[in-house]
Chain A
Amino acid sequence: MSAATDIWPVVLLVLVLAAAIVRLPRVHEAAVALPAAAVCVASGGLSAAAAGDELRRLGPVVAFLAAVLVVSHVCERDGVFRAAGALLAGAGAGSGRRLLGLVFALAALTTAALSLDATVVLLTPVVFATAARLSLPPRPHVYACTHLANAASLLLPVSNLTNLLAVGAAGASFGRFAALMALPWLVVVLIEYAVFRVYFAGDLAHAGAAPPAPAERPGVPVATLAVLGLMLVGFFLASFAGVDVAWVAAAAAAALAVPALARGRVRVPTLVAAADPAFLVFVLSLSIVVLTAVHHGVGHLVNRLLPGGASLAALVGVAALAALLANLVNNLPATLIMLPQLSGGGLGPLLAMLVGVNVGPNLTYVGSLATLLWRRIARDHDHDVPLGEFTALGLIATPLAIVAAVVMIWMELRLTGGG
């Protein structure tokens, strides 16, 4: 059997993705992905050596991810997000526009430092509660969180799992990544802000009311924030010293978890649950299944579609293809599929791909057409936001943001002579 014509790895990949999108209530997607990965290796679709290499490569990434999830969880338990909500309420009262600016700043920073997971799961409820307390329409502010969870995840490798996967493959240091992505990140956030100010002008025009006086002002957890700051600094220093950033993240997680455990704010089972072991198993298994599919024709197909070189047009093409793929099947599989084809091609195409998979999902409000389709089929959309409205917002902001970010990356690489 010629490896190029085997269809079963693609079928397996589709099955795993379907399980992840459908989200059956009693079957975790890891329970589908792990056996699928085992089948890939056992049947010879992927050599044990290649699978071992992939797992060795992804081990530190997954460990890093687990540590950052624990850090986010303890930050939330320590009241970081509560304090942020109080800050928003204090500074944003009386003006929807001012609140939006503050929410943008906060969401962009949260996504950059703690990943999009933290913004969606931990920040969005706080932002909603703040808008409600200020008697302001919450729509623009909640949408800002969901949009920036994707768009603002460009800045640091920690901001998105897609970045973590790519940085490992590119051998780019944490510092270099951040330096190259800083301006594109800023440009994307500003474009989104401008589009939001126009699109939600009606909702933002209200002045709301003064918030009811809180029963007690939530204290600012200074120690927690200090550890968080040290962790971010540590990421930069570690990349200079050649130390794996996973150690820095683990140290930060320990530094936060131990006092929290001692104070009774968290328990060991919740910490373990926060690290989401099933998700980590899913990521590792998915990468094996994707690699098998890539070796059996998918990689060849992607190669044919990928523009070559590092010209501006090529970079925009890579970003567009990445955005398209991310919108079809979700940004995580899209990254895993495109990475092998891009790892030898220089930093430009790799970063352009990240722009596509990170910012692209804002086109469809559930992050992929596959998910949208499934929700329609499963009639999970009784209270759906009118589809046209959210799509219009995405259609205006997203292509503009993607192109602007890619142009900035191209200019930076030209100026610094990298590539």
Chain B
Amino acid sequence: MRVLVWVSRTTWRACVDAAARMVHDGSAAEVTLLHVPEPDAPEAAHAAFTGLLGRRRHADPAPVITAEARVAGERLLAEAAGRLGSPCATLMPEGRPERAVVSAAAGADLLIAGRDGDTTRLGPHSLRPPLRFVLDHAPCQVLLVWPGEAPGTHTIPPPPAPGDRPPRPPG
């Protein structure tokens, strides 16, 4: 099975551990580690710079930040590969993370991703919008892992009292 691991800065350890378990029990034939440097930071910096009317163009901080993001991404991928402990491929595409991951998942049988939102309670807030997009659009199986200890089921809000109107279904 071709396994793609989405190495995201805050959840990669749990994802890599899951991949390592699959390599160990033989179900993963090849593993690819994927990291997408966040475009938000260089874009915000570039936007702030364009607001400085008349300043010299070569002072734009965005290329510096983009380069730094790639260096940091490579460091992260190297650390992840080290933790995996077995041969793997690495990918660092550009663009919006959710689209790059979905696009790369077309060539995989399983995508491993970690919940990157509020992990103190069970519920939809444990997924941030990019991960939600990936889950909705992934063309392969997806293994969704908790980055740490999963919260207990007591964190689910209680069911509505009898007589309450049920929530309207979407559409």
List the B side residues contacting A375 at CB < 8 Å: 50
List the A side residues contacting B10 at CB < 8 Å: 135, 137, 206
In the complex, what residue of chain B is closest to A375 when comparing beta carbons?
B50
List the A side residues contacting B56 at CB < 8 Å: 273, 276, 278-279
- Is B40's CB under 8 angstroms from A385's CB? yes
B55 to chain A, nearest CB (A): 6
- Is A371's CB under 8 angstroms from B51's CB? yes
Q: If A117-B52, A276-B56, A279-B54 touch, does A146 touch B47 (CB 8 Å cutoff)?
A: yes
List the B side residues contacting A146 at CB < 8 Å: 44-45, 47-48
- Is B118's CB under 8 angstroms from A367's CB? no
List the A side residues contacting B76 at CB < 8 Å: 135
List the A side residues contacting B38 at CB < 8 Å: 137-139
Which B residues between 30 and 74 are near A, CB-CB below 8 angstroms?
38-45, 47-57, 59-61, 64-65, 68-69, 72
Which B residues between 114 and 160 are near A, CB-CB below 8 angstroms?
117-118, 128
Q: If A125-B65, A128-B69, A132-B69 touch, does A137 touch B9 (CB 8 Å cutoff)?
A: yes
List the B side residues contacting A105 at CB < 8 Å: none
Against A, the Cβ 8 Å flags (1 = close, 0 = not) of B1-15 are 000000001100000
A376 to chain B, nearest CB (A): 13
Q: If A23-B57, A135-B9, A139-B38 touch, does A383 touch B50 (CB 8 Å cutoff)?
A: no
- Is B54's CB under 8 angstroms from A282's CB? yes
A308 to chain B, nearest CB (A): 29
Does B82 make an interface contact (CB < 8 A)?
A: no
- Is A332's CB under 8 angstroms from B54's CB? yes
Does B21 make an interface contact (CB < 8 A)?
A: no
Does A384 make an interface contact (CB < 8 A)?
A: yes
A124 to B43, CA, bound (A): 12
A198 to B28, CA, bound (A): 41
Which A residues between 107 and 152 are near B, CB-CB below 8 angstroms?
116-117, 120-122, 124-125, 128-129, 132-133, 135-139, 142-143, 145-146, 149-150
Against A, the Cβ 8 Å flags (1 = close, 0 = not) of B83-114 are 00000000000011000000000000000000
B47 CB contact (under 8 Å) in A117, A129, A366 = A366
B17 to chain A, nearest CB (A): 15
Scoring B50, B60, B69 by chain A CB atoms within 10 A of each residue's CB, the highest score goes to: B50
- Is A202's CB under 8 angstroms from B47's CB? no
List the B side residues contacting A192 at CB < 8 Å: none
- Is B9's CB under 8 angstroms from A20's CB? no
A142 to B48, CA, bound (A): 10
B45 CB contact (under 8 Å) in A132, A142, A368 = A142
List the A side residues contacting B52 at CB < 8 Å: 116-117, 120, 367
B65 CB contact (under 8 Å) in A124, A135, A278 = A124
A390 to B9, CA, bound (A): 22
Contact count band on A: 35 or more
List the B side residues contacting A137 at CB < 8 Å: 9-10, 38
B51 CB contact (under 8 Å) in A132, A135, A368 = A368
A286 to B53, CA, bound (A): 11
List the A side residues contacting B95 at CB < 8 Å: 383
B15 to chain A, nearest CB (A): 14
In the complex, what residue of chain B is closest to A277 when comparing beta carbons?
B56
Q: If A202-B128, A206-B10 touch, does A29 touch B41 (CB 8 Å cutoff)?
A: no
A149 to B55, CA, bound (A): 15
- Is B48's CB under 8 angstroms from A120's CB? yes
Does A166 make an interface contact (CB < 8 A)?
A: no
- Is A139's CB under 8 angstroms from B40's CB? yes
List the A side residues contacting B51 at CB < 8 Å: 150, 330-331, 361, 366-368, 371
A284 to chain B, nearest CB (A): 11
B43 CB contact (under 8 Å) in A133, A273, A367, A384 = A384
Does A365 make an interface contact (CB < 8 A)?
A: yes
A121 CB contact (under 8 Å) in B9, B49, B68, B118 = B49
Residues of A bordering B, CB below 8 Å: 20-21, 23, 25, 29-30, 116-117, 120-122, 124-125, 128-129, 132-133, 135-139, 142-143, 145-146, 149-150, 202, 205-206, 212, 273, 276, 278-279, 282-283, 286, 330-333, 361, 365-368, 371, 375, 383-385, 390
Q: Which 9 A-B pairs give the minimum distances between C-beta atoms? A: A367-B51, A132-B72, A146-B48, A282-B54, A142-B41, A383-B39, A125-B64, A366-B47, A279-B54
A-B contact sample (6 more), CB < 8 A, given A125-B64, A135-B9, A137-B10 = A29-B53, A120-B52, A124-B61, A132-B72, A139-B41, A142-B40
